[in-house]
Amino acid sequence: MRHKERADGRPEVVIIGGGFAGLSALDALGNRDAQVTVVDRNIYSTFQPLLYQVATAGLTSADVAYPLWSATGRRGSSYRRGELAGVDPGERIVTLAAGDKLSYDYLIIASGVSAAFFGVPGAAEQALSLYTRRDAIALRNTLMDELERRNEGLSKPELDITVVGGGATGVELAGTLAELRNFALPAVYPNIDRSMFRVRLIEMAPALLAPYHDSLRRYTRQQLVNRGVDVLLETTIKEVRPGSVLLADGSECRSDITVWAAGVTAPADEWSADLPRGRGGRIEVDADLRVVGQDRVFAAGDVCLNQAHPVAQLAQPAIQQGRHAGEQVARLIAGQPTRPFRYHDKGTMATIGRRSAVCELRGGIRLRGTLAWFAWLGLHLIYLLGNRNRVVTLVNLTWRYLTWSRGGGVIVGDDIPGGD
């Protein structure tokens, strides 16, 4: 079943994954003379940087999702729901889990990654992750259920939440959980004693937000402490147990909810067994993002790794890699040579809570506090897909931060079954 070209003469390009990298590749190919198909197991693209807001009931899951059929339709491409099960570079065929086969002339793999538990016993079974939309809904429902039970006197009054990982996701989640307790709890759950609601953040490194300047790391820790977060640095988790976490020093911390935000890894799927794999199971690519040893298969985003020039597994590198992969496919279609990928670091930012964030830009420019928080909010609204999502997210977040003390920032009950 090998088809080098369609009947209309246009080459076929298949993109696996509808996240940041996949949609950026689609944008780069949108006006090219090619038939592009995006394959994803979900019918929507998820804006992962705001999943912690869904998990803490500040946004609905629909606010961070955008339909892939709309994204592809506007670009004259097509969407195919499915999960990758096999890649045959020799025959240029991808096989989906349902058994369907798609031929391609060029393939871009942007399938993303999953939570990395680093072999910690009990972590995968007992901890909740925060990488997919389904994860965020599950965490929100678990949190709301635990709070409701305590408000109604059906459980012991103590509620301990442990967030594992001091990167951006861990910091943002811990800070928002603390503000949920500090501001919204009295209005929404008046029977809960706030002093019994404890938020703990554990990081094995000596500082939070490792890629940031030391002054911003110190600021972040102090802001979390000011909000009542118990920050444990240089602390290693030995085991995650039902209702507790065991530390490497032998001490045990009570933990009714444990959230794992300590890193990501490429899933060990069978379809990638024949592709070169590097650190964290990521697919190894050459300078132009072609998979090592392949001339028509590219990889972009979190799932790929250039050993010589690694980049962080963040949204901005994924966006730039996806765009580059799409541009290189367009160059090959036009009979031109590919170009190496160069990452343009535009800076990083993370929010800690209401009117508190850190931002590090090119040229050594560092912001913190209210100005950094507005910069963070503006950037996230720009990158959200869909005007509806931008408007609703702005309204919901504004409403949350203005009305938390009256319980106005807690949204529940938007579960949508299926998908991630």
Are 132 and 420 spatial neighbours (Cβ–Cβ below 8 Å)? yes
- 410, 188 Cβ separation under 8 angstroms: yes
Using a 10 angstrom Cβ sphere, with 0-12 exposed, 13-18 middle and 19 or more buried, the burial of residue 179 is buried
**DSSP 8-state code for residue 161:** E
5 flagged as catalytic:
no
Task: Find the catalytic residue in 125, 152, 172, 239.
Answer: 172
Nearest 5°: CA angle at 299, between 78 and 314? 100
Report the DSSP beta bridge partners of residue 246: 239, 252
Can you spell out the DSSP letters for 1-58?
---SS-TTSPPEEEEE--SHHHHHHHHHHTTSSSEEEEEESSSEEE-GGGHHHHHTTS
Lookup result for tokens 């959980």: 177
CA 216/CA 369 separation, integer angstroms? 10
Q: Is 120 helix (H, G, I), strand (E, B) or coil?
A: coil
Q: What does the DSSP 8-state code read for residue 110? A: -
- Among 27, 97, 4, which residue's Cα sits nearest to residue 383? 27
Pairing of strands 128-129, 114-115: unpaired
Amino acid at 184: A
Q: Which positions are annotated as active-site residues?
A: 172
